[in-house]
Homo-oligomer: A and B are copies of this chain.
């Protein structure tokens, strides 16, 4: 129905899924480089002013979709839309990163949690946050994260 192409790729320290810290309590301080394809460089105009970005990316090495599964951070099964599982109906990942600096088509960022070489579909400015007192995290809070 919808065909997409990568606007770039992310370089990260992670070669295998097992190396990526898991769970909402995980600290994602790892640095990486978002390499934007040269034909999209104009789209980066003024991106330096933003402290944080959304990266929309592809789980390009995920298994088949699993609607209900047991996450690595719990012993109970949960629906895929209530988890960050890679085995989604559409294998789209989403990460908030901190923009450290830009060098032409290369965005140096902190907080990557995807595998090295992951294709990127979109980059968006992170604009606002949900106040902490309004946030509930369902089974994740119950599971102690």
Residues on A facing B (Cβ under 8 Å): 1-7, 24, 36, 40, 42-54, 56, 58, 67-68, 77-84, 88-92, 94, 96, 98, 119, 121-132, 134-142
Complex Cα distance, B42 from A81, in Å, reads: 9
A132, chain B: closest CB distance, angstroms: 6
Please name 22 pairs of A and B residues whose Cβ atoms are closer than 8 Å in the assembled complex, sorted by A: A2-B121, A4-B4, A7-B89, A24-B127, A40-B67, A43-B82, A45-B68, A45-B82, A46-B78, A47-B81, A47-B82, A49-B82, A49-B139, A49-B141, A50-B82, A50-B137, A51-B137, A56-B56, A81-B125, A88-B122, A125-B140, A128-B135
Q: Are A45 and B77 in contact (CB under 8 A)?
A: yes
Complex Cα distance, B129 from A52, in Å, reads: 11
Complex Cα distance, B14 from A14, in Å, reads: 42
